Structure 1
Amino acid sequence: GDHIYKMDYSEMIQDHIESGADATIGCIPVPVEKGPDFGIMEIDESRRIVNFVEKPRQPAPLPDDPQRCLASMGIYVFNAPFLFEQLCRDATVPGSSHDFGKDIIPSIVHTHNVRAFPFRDKNTGDGRYWRDVGTLDAYYEANMDLVEVRPELNLYDPAWPIRTYHPLAPPPKFVFAQTDGPHPRVGHALDSMVCAGCIISGGRVQRSILSPYVRVNSWAAVDDSILFAGVEVGRHARIRRAIIDKGVRIPEGMEIGYDLERDKARGFTLTKSGVVVIGRVDNLDELDRTAQTAQPSVAAESEEQARPP
């Protein structure tokens, strides 16, 4: 799915059984302005859903909080015979899109016992962390959440391990500690997550996430970015607010995220918030030459000459 959260489903299932509901829907409050992106429900005092509209233009606010509305998390518990019955019924409805949010849920809330289950974070019991990452901007923000000093989604909780594939790779390595001289070279990462197999070879990484086997070479800078596995960043390259796909090689001296018009001319994807997204490409040098206008400058040449080899 495209949602990120931590939830003990057994609690929701138990609530469903004890309430005698036909269906139970996980829910969470969201800002009203984000309501059109979700299925929005209205509930009574007993948490029974009395109305459900998929992606409404004008979401109904919470009675005690006009700035927020109650959104479906897309998590459902059904009694199996009831679910089978509703799926068969919906299959015969002309014009149905056969979608839970658009068709099935709205058709049963007025005739059956459909209840809301409020989401509770596993760590705190009251704080809620749930992100819909169905867009590039949402995906980017969810990843940037992880590099906060106190992230809401705690990946370091030993009581709630993340069960996923871990490559058999050596620990990340940070090399060069040359702090003196006209061109200091120090391999380091700050406020970042650096995965196994990475080598920060005299470059700087800040507020970024590096997947396995990323290499950042000397005098390169990576800020507020997400680099997928096997990305290599050339010397003197600068990357800011970018998502870069697996195996992409960033040429020496290339700048990404500093001139969005130029990035767009290169064929890179730009999100609404200005994040640069680079998919798998064979030759970024060629893309850069194609997009670059012939406007040499003495200042640029002087800067290039001043760079260390």
Structure 2
Amino acid sequence: RIIDFTLSNCLNSGLRKVAVLIQYKSHSLDRHIRTGWNVMNAELGEYIASIPPQQRISEEWYQGTADAVYQNLFLLDTEQPDYVLILAGDHIYKMNYMEMFHWLIAKGADAVVGAIDIPIEEAHRFGVIHVDEDFRITDFVEKPTHPPSIPNDPTRAFGSMGIYLFRTNILREQLIADAQEGGNHDFGRNIIPRMIRDRPVFAYKFVDANKKDVKYWRDIGTLDAYWEANMDLVAVDPLFNLYDQQWPIRTYQGQFPPAKFVFSQDYQGGRMGVALDSIVCGGCIISGGRVQNSVLSPNVRVQDHADVRESIVMENVVIGAHTRVRRAIIDKDVIIPPNSEIGYNREADAQRFTVTESGLVVIAKGTKLHASLDSSG
């Protein structure tokens, strides 16, 4: 799950008290955290806990990122930490948060915002941070038409990573003030822009623990972004390294048998179970089919002469014989009948499924498809 990347960063950074603020349709996420992240020592006061809306302050759902923390101020009153780190659960990156903490101390800051340097022509898609030569934030603008550049480098800008580190007393004060005002109750749109007027707020330049030439940080806010991030994992030299033993990425691993590839003895007739440049999880059986540049979740079946390319296939999916799938996200428990074609005819796909602007086909969980689902419609 996407949240595993943020939680792995917390664990690898030495953070031992983590609250995950969840909202609607949270049962699956809550179960994942309880079963996959039960790694802390409760006797030492350590925990990773999912916290649904407590409605102690308001009967409303969370109205924004800042409001979510405001409605859970009782956690800060209970734990009484000196510092609070605010993170997003839908970003993929590797980062040692303790280095950001040391930066806050060194600068004497009330708050620090994680920042990644990006080409200035891409900055219009981000919340952009303007800093002075000491990295103190002087302006914070959401998706500007004319973004400010990094000092002494007109080709680059600082984009906000949605990572905020606060001194607890300052955070509490700012959240209470924000709750009394209108607006989006958002850290990037409200809290930080108000603080930089008279508070020492600094940017922390992202140091990537991914150990690649290009820094890796992805905001998985759209289906296309989610698909692209998965495709980043399957290259021969992947942009994001899942196999770094020094910075492990944890998740919940079910008790499934190893993946199996069968019918290789019939290769002369074209019937060979094979997966190339792909990630295949336990419980999968590639039974005379071909998988390429794809990610297969546990217990997927790919049957005779099926061809799956550039796709993400979730748990318990069956892809029937002689079926072709290209550039698709197929959610759990979908059964695709034999001789189907998905991703080869946009008009036909759009009549049955969700198709993004880029042409990515998305099939919802548990969808039951009819036989002879081919590109002719």
Q: Same fold (TM over 0.5)?
A: yes
- Greater alpha carbon shift after TM alignment, 69-78 vs 120-129: 120-129
What does residue 59 of structure 1 align with?
A: 147
Given that residues 189 and 205 in structure 1 are in contact (C-alpha distance below 8 angstroms), is that contact kept between their aligned partners in structure 2? Answer: yes
Q: Cα offset for 1:33?
A: 4.2
Q: Cα offset for 1:188?
A: 0.3
- Greater alpha carbon shift after TM alignment, 246-255 vs 30-39: 30-39
What TM-score do you get using the length of structure 1 for normalisation? 0.88
Q: Which amino acid aligns with 2:263?
A: F
Q: Cα offset for 1:286?
A: 7.0
Alpha-carbon distance in structure 1 between the residues aligned to 2:217 and 2:200: 26
Map 1:128-139 onto structure 2 (within 5 A): 128-139=215-226
Match of 1:218 among 301, 304, 321: 304
Match of 2:262 among 175, 178, 183: 175
Alpha-carbon distance in structure 2 between the residues aligned to 1:134 and 1:250: 27
Q: CA offsets per residue over residues 101-157 of structure 1, 9 Å max, x none?
A: 111111111311110001111143874110011011111100000001111211001
What TM-score do you get using the length of structure 2 for normalisation? 0.73
- The SS at the match of 1:179 is helix
Q: Which amino acid aligns with 1:92?
A: Q
Map 1:195-274 onto structure 2 (within 5 A): 195-266=281-352, 268-274=353-359
Q: Cα offset for 1:43?
A: 0.8
Q: Cα offset for 1:63?
A: 4.5
Determine what percentage of the aligned residue pairs are the same residue: 54
Q: Which amino acid aligns with 1:141?
A: E
What does residue 97 of structure 2 align with?
A: 9
* RMSD of Structure 2 on Structure 1 (CA): 1.9
Q: Aligned pair in 2 of structure 1 residues 128, 11: CA closer, same or farther (>3 Å)?
A: same
Map 1:98-177 onto structure 2 (within 5 A): 98-124=185-211, 127-177=214-264
What does residue 162 of structure 2 align with?
A: 74
Q: Aligned pair in 2 of structure 1 residues 108, 125: CA closer, same or farther (>3 Å)?
A: farther
Aligned length: 288
Q: Which amino acid aligns with 1:174?
A: F
- Greater alpha carbon shift after TM alignment, 131-140 vs 50-59: 50-59
Given that residues 93 and 210 in structure 2 are in contact (C-alpha distance below 8 angstroms), is that contact kept between their aligned partners in structure 1? Answer: no
Alpha-carbon distance in structure 2 between the residues aligned to 1:110 and 1:100: 15
Q: Which runs of 5+ in 2 are unaligned?
A: 1-88
- The SS at the match of 1:70 is strand
Q: Cα offset for 1:2?
A: 1.3
Alpha-carbon distance in structure 2 between the residues aligned to 1:195 and 1:41: 40
Alpha-carbon distance in structure 2 between the residues aligned to 1:35 and 1:57: 9
Alpha-carbon distance in structure 2 between the residues aligned to 1:282 and 1:274: 19
Q: Which runs of 5+ in 1 are unaligned?
A: 294-309
Q: Which has the larger radius of gyration?
A: 1
Q: Which amino acid aligns with 1:129?
A: Y
